[in-house]
Chains A and B, each alone.
Chain A
């Protein structure tokens, strides 16, 4: 299976703080890759580097087999959808108008808007101002924006943050369906082990900016059959780290 995302020696330093250290990430095509780590482990910084929102101090990023750089940035990001930190939207515009702006910038067919609104089940709320949406609806609008061009790669940073249990389940089912229905590769970050366990096929565990484990979820379970997944995670990340 082809590696759609590959990083080599990826490092990000903010003055004296080493946020991401010598990270090697491997994401296979058509899979859901769970990026797991305690709060402040370096997940968001890594994902931002994949999107060229943050510039690496050193190391290289390869996406779709191309090295992320000035010349390839546009081509790579054109095929990448993202939802980083919190959903982005214009509060004074309706859900539809928000997506219309992204659709115009991305130069994709207008029918995609209706399609993604249906996927995230916001089609009946399309004429409502985004500022009046509930947190769950804002999160779904953010996801609709990420899905708008039906990208090959989807990067979601803690997409279930702030959602209620039914919202979390809904989001999870939605994400799980994406590789099969649309052939997407999904990278989804979370600090919740149970979330990743239910959603992802492959997992990367990061702590203190370093990759502690990378492989399939099954292999993670097999590290020590006598221990629960939570115990294995704590062994890998260090017990002093918060979950």
Chain B
């Protein structure tokens, strides 16, 4: 496995995958940060960001997953390298090595955006201290949902030569995830597909906001933390991983 991971490093030479991933992460951060915040918002901004980030993640993380998985797997399809690799090593190991490598890139991006958010909070002068426990919980949930989405994209990218299949299935999922954010009255909808879990695991609510007073009397608070949804997601991800792995192993080239 170490050798296969080493090969993944060699393969991405001149492919600029890390840079592309960092550019997308940068675009995500640029989307969030420039919103000039009023004094009233800065007072509650640590919690405010925990409220807003899942929406941004639901757009950018699936997009990043599509890009990274597709760029990693596309090179195997282009000149029939999957056929060559299949006779050189075990298919399950190819599937795992590529997945671990892709997940490592995703984890780097998640962690960078997480650290950058906290750094920005201090820089912008968010009121009080950051609720680290809640930020860690947010990191855990974001990582879990993103890994789940990435595994889906990995399966699609590796098993289908035509990367348009990967792109469209991912785009539909992303659209569904964002759409479900705006329908909090339908909690089952957001739990029906993995992309909806950015919303399902969003645990911060906004209270007291009005059009006139805006954030003056508003506050963010922790709502129900749906650990049930979290475990359902983990279970679905594990099942998806094994189904994808088995499908890839049985695939004929």
Interface, chain A (partner B; CB < 8 A): 48, 51-55, 74, 77, 80, 82, 84-93, 97, 100-102, 104-107, 130, 145
Contact = CB atoms under 8 A, between A and B. Distances in A.
B188 interface: no
B88 A92 contact: no
B87 A82 contact: yes
Nearest to A49: B252
Contacts of B35: none
A54 B251 CA distance: 8
A93 B12 CA distance: 9
Contacts of B78: 90-91
B84 interface: yes
A48 to B, nearest CB: 7
Contacts of A74: 90
Interface residues of B, number: 25
13 contacts: A52-B87, A53-B87, A74-B90, A77-B87, A85-B80, A88-B81, A88-B83, A88-B84, A90-B79, A91-B78, A101-B10, A104-B6, A105-B4
B89 interface: yes
B84 A86 contact: no
B84 A145 contact: yes
A53 B88 contact: no
Contacts of A107: 3
B18 to A, nearest CB: 15
A102 to B, nearest CB: 6
Contacts of B15: 92
Interface string B5-24: 01100110111000000000
Interface of B: 3-4, 6-7, 10-11, 13-15, 75, 78-81, 83-90, 250, 252-253
B79 A87 contact: yes
B79 to A, nearest CB: 5
3 A-B pairs with least C-beta separation = A88-B84, A88-B80, A53-B253
Among B11, B79, B89, B253, the most chain A Cβ lie within 10 Å of the Cβ of B79
Nearest to A50: B87
Nearest to A85: B80
Given A88-B79, A92-B13, A104 B86 contact: no
Contacts of B80: 84-88
A84 B79 CA distance: 12
A33 B15 CA distance: 41
A95 B79 CA distance: 14
B88 A93 contact: no
A97 B14 CA distance: 12
Contacts of A89: 79, 81
B10 A104 contact: yes
Contacts of B250: 55
Given A92-B13, A93-B13, A86 B3 contact: no
B79 A91 contact: yes
